[in-house]
Structure 1
Amino acid sequence: MTAASARRVRRAVAGRGIRVTSVRRQGGGSRRGRVRTGDVAVLSRQLAALTRAGVPLLQALGIIADGTDKSALAALVRALRADVSAGDSVAAALGRHPEHFDDLFRNLVEAGERSGTLPAMLDRIATYQEKSENLRRKVRKALVYPAVVLCVAGAVSGILLVKVVPQFEQIFAGFGAELPASTQWVIALSEFVRDWWVTMVGAGLAAVLGVRAMRNRSRALRAVLDRLSLRLPVFGPLIERSSVARCTRTLSTTFAAGVPLVDALESVARAAGNGVFEAAVRRVRAEVATGRQLNTSMRAAGVFPDDVVGMVAVGEESGTLDDMLARSAGWYEQRVDDAVDAIASMIEPMIMAVLGVVVGGLIVAMYLPIFQLGAVIGGP
């Protein structure tokens, strides 16, 4: 059976009076069959273009389903088409797939349906998703690259200590002379790593997976980690700027779509990407609901930069809040780009220097006794 998710398969089969025991993805559950965020953005863009051109909604969904080479996306679009053809609104059809379409997406589509501007709203959604995904990708690149390089450096050093150093140790055993202190230290480190590497790797993996699992389950731990992430040297300002850009972009998109400000702030809180900003937005929402101005509430929250608060104040006074928020989002997205480039230009030479010191130090420590022996043999 072709469907967008295992849950829809169970529902469809159960409707025929058949008891379902298990559902498996054809092809062994390859990750290539997943519907990604970028796929949803492309779907929004294509659907907006077709409906703007006057193509009926059901026909547009059929064209998209037949035109994609991604089986999971095609199944998702066909499921949406079946629900809409059965009489559901587009927002209601999207609501049956919360794993692909979040509340923000559904609320914007619902606003577009109510106002008769669904094509324009889909276009706006696609722009928002593309910018959000681009921002997320850049931040991930800045954070992952140093970690990957350091892991590779650790792996290379481990191979040297486990495989190469023992060979030199056998050679040095026949020298009958005292080895330099650096060489003795490297040999001792090699013996320690050979005896305990399984324990160290297992403990490291357990620590990473344990913290990740606890973070997903514990609100308190997640809040602490999010707060600490904003205080990290180099990376803290990057995370803060990306959160500001995400909040302002989301609020601009939802408010411009006609979503009430209080409801829009709820969507902003869910899209903040950081617990500190999420809590701040919820405080702002509570104050705005009592009639307080948005810029005053944002200033009192204590996490939004003064320039953003100033732009919001100008937007509220002039009636151009969505435009001022969009300008702030664009400015902070550009600052994220600049920060990523700066981090890359700074981290790369630092990592190369660390690799040179670690790997070069190990090699020099191993060859130093050989150089000394050569000097003794070649001496007068």
Structure 2
Amino acid sequence: MSAAPAKGKKSLAKKNIQIGGPRKPSTSDLTLFTRQLATLLDAGLPLVRGLRILQEQQPEGTQMRIVLREVVGTVEGGKSFSEALAKYPKIFDNLFVNMVRAGEAGGVLETVLERLADFAEKAQKLKKKVKSAMTYPIVVLSIAMIVVVFLLSFVVPKFASMFKEQNRELPVITQTLIDLSDFVKGLFTQPWKLAIVVAVIVGIVMLWKYMLRTPAGRYATDAFKVRAPIFGKLVTKVLVARFTRTLGTLISSGVPILQALDIVRDAVGNAVVAKAINSVHNSIKEGESVVDPLRESGIFDPMVIGMIDVGEETGTLAQMLVRVADTYDDDIDTAVEGLTSILEPLLIVFLALIVGTIVVAMFMPLLSLMKGFGSGPGM
């Protein structure tokens, strides 16, 4: 009789996990769990006992506590730790599961977990660096948009009514700005105009999402990212750092290189780099070098190619890949600082040009009118 409620409770827990009732663990939560489990195992505690300790540390009702309870049950039922984790792909991704599997096979699970924690921490730092580089331009562009909407909605209409009273022909730039102002005001007074704009924006977003679902569209978008002016070099450095660190961590943990390449291809997040990884995969299967496909991709610079080549020849490929990633992490810091120093004056000039154009467009008719008044007595 007690089995039925227990089964119902377990089903409810799984239902909550799928629907998203309990809070999903963050990257920081998962990194902390991995680091703590590695420490417990290194201290000599059995896996199940370590998992139970960490389960009890999780707040009641959280997704991580529910998952760990079920992982413990699966392991006690005779399954491996990696098999238990594989049931929750939204929390423990392919990279995590395969590294744990390799650690179990090699009897070095605590070492692999330490590497996973290091990898997650460095990946998180890298993500924060990229976000910091993008925050400033987004803020400035948002301010520029607010300023423009304010000027078009409240300032330009006052000038427009004054020009209308004068009944004079306006310069093209002034008339264009007044027409744009009328359109912006119409968005707030005529719902059908706003509906059209929203429909156009939604249509563009849906078309963009559709393109990203197609291989050709995704490849074209990712190719633009790595070749884009200003941001392209930073994106490339981030992708190279992600590729080398992920592959190096997997290989050093005992994951076979072909399987590791498959995992990295899915985790790298760029179709151009994924294509290069496919070429590397095929090259290794045919007994050829790793470096030739990387060189042909145009993504990896000669320094990276040279270091990977040396690592392949000396049997230290995993260590060399991680070293490349460390070097690129430092390069990314420098690139973010340089990008910020370039963008600050550019965006300020951009904002000044927008406001300046509006001011000039509004004062051109006034100057013409004043000039006409000044020449009146002479006539």
Partner in structure 2 of residue 3 of structure 1: none
Partner in structure 1 of residue 120 of structure 2: 129
1:100 equivalent in alignment to 2:91: yes
Mapped contact 1:62–1:81 kept (Cα < 8 A): yes
Distance 1:171 1:78, change over 3 A: farther
Q: C-alpha separation between the residues in 2 aligned to 1:42 and 1:377?
A: 76
Distance 1:161 1:284, change over 3 A: same
Q: C-alpha separation between the residues in 1 aligned to 2:254 and 2:100?
A: 11
Mapped contact 1:105–1:125 kept (Cα < 8 A): yes
Q: Gaps spanning 5+ residues in structure 2: where?
A: 1-6, 187-192
Matched to 1:71, the amino acid is T
Partner in structure 2 of residue 276 of structure 1: 272
Partner in structure 2 of residue 86 of structure 1: 77
Q: C-alpha separation between the residues in 2 aligned to 1:205 and 1:161?
A: 24
Partner in structure 2 of residue 190 of structure 1: 181
TM-score using structure 1 length: 0.83
Q: C-alpha separation between the residues in 2 aligned to 1:47 and 1:24?
A: 27
User: Of 198, 201, 205, which residue of structure 2 is paired with 1:204?
Assistant: 201
Partner in structure 2 of residue 42 of structure 1: 32
TM-fit CA distance, 1:253: 0.6
Partner in structure 2 of residue 54 of structure 1: 44
> What SS is found at the alignment partner of 2:353?
helix
Q: C-alpha separation between the residues in 2 aligned to 1:25 and 1:314?
A: 47
Matched to 1:50, the amino acid is L
Matched to 2:153, the amino acid is V
> What SS is found at the alignment partner of 2:335?
helix
> Can you list the C-alpha shifts for 1:113-137, whole angstroms capped at 9, x where unaligned?
1222111110101111221222233
1:66 equivalent in alignment to 2:56: yes
Q: Gaps spanning 5+ residues in structure 1: where?
A: 1-7
Mapped contact 1:94–1:101 kept (Cα < 8 A): yes
TM-fit CA distance, 1:348: 1.8
Distance 1:13 1:148, change over 3 A: same
Q: C-alpha separation between the residues in 2 aligned to 1:63 and 1:360?
A: 64
Distance 1:377 1:298, change over 3 A: closer
TM-score using structure 2 length: 0.83
Partner in structure 1 of residue 294 of structure 2: 298
1:120 equivalent in alignment to 2:117: no
Mapped contact 2:52–2:69 kept (Cα < 8 A): yes
Distance 1:364 1:74, change over 3 A: farther
> Can you list the C-alpha shifts for 1:319-362, whole angstroms capped at 9, x where unaligned?
22222111111112222222122111111221122112213433
Mapped contact 1:143–1:235 kept (Cα < 8 A): no
User: Of 232, 238, 245, which residue of structure 2 is paired with 1:242?
Assistant: 238
Q: C-alpha separation between the residues in 2 aligned to 1:117 and 1:48?
A: 10
> What SS is found at the alignment partner of 1:55?
coil
TM-fit CA distance, 1:39: 2.5
> What SS is found at the alignment partner of 1:230?
helix
Matched to 2:233, the amino acid is P
Distance 1:376 1:46, change over 3 A: farther
1:256 equivalent in alignment to 2:252: yes
Mapped contact 1:243–1:272 kept (Cα < 8 A): yes
Distance 1:197 1:154, change over 3 A: farther
Q: C-alpha separation between the residues in 2 aligned to 1:234 and 1:302?
A: 18
Mapped contact 2:106–2:254 kept (Cα < 8 A): no
Mapped contact 2:239–2:268 kept (Cα < 8 A): yes
Which shows bigger deviation, 120-129 or 344-353?
344-353
Distance 1:276 1:144, change over 3 A: farther
Which shows bigger deviation, 189-198 or 35-44?
189-198
Partner in structure 2 of residue 160 of structure 1: 151
> Can you list the C-alpha shifts for 1:126-161, whole angstroms capped at 9, x where unaligned?
111221222233234434542453244223312321
TM-fit CA distance, 1:88: 2.0
Matched to 2:245, the amino acid is R
Which shows bigger deviation, 342-351 or 360-369?
360-369
Superposed CA RMSD in Å reads: 3.3
Distance 1:34 1:326, change over 3 A: same
> Can you list the C-alpha shifts for 1:198-232, whole angstroms capped at 9, x where unaligned?
533442343134312431x2112111211122221
Identity of aligned residues (%): 37
Matched to 1:40, the amino acid is L
Q: C-alpha separation between the residues in 2 aligned to 1:236 and 1:291?
A: 33
TM-fit CA distance, 1:171: 4.4
How many residues are paired up? 362
Distance 1:362 1:65, change over 3 A: farther
Q: C-alpha separation between the residues in 1 aligned to 2:344 and 2:261?
A: 39
Which shows bigger deviation, 332-341 or 178-187?
178-187
Partner in structure 2 of residue 75 of structure 1: 66
Which shows bigger deviation, 117-126 or 286-295?
286-295
Q: C-alpha separation between the residues in 2 aligned to 1:200 and 1:134?
A: 39
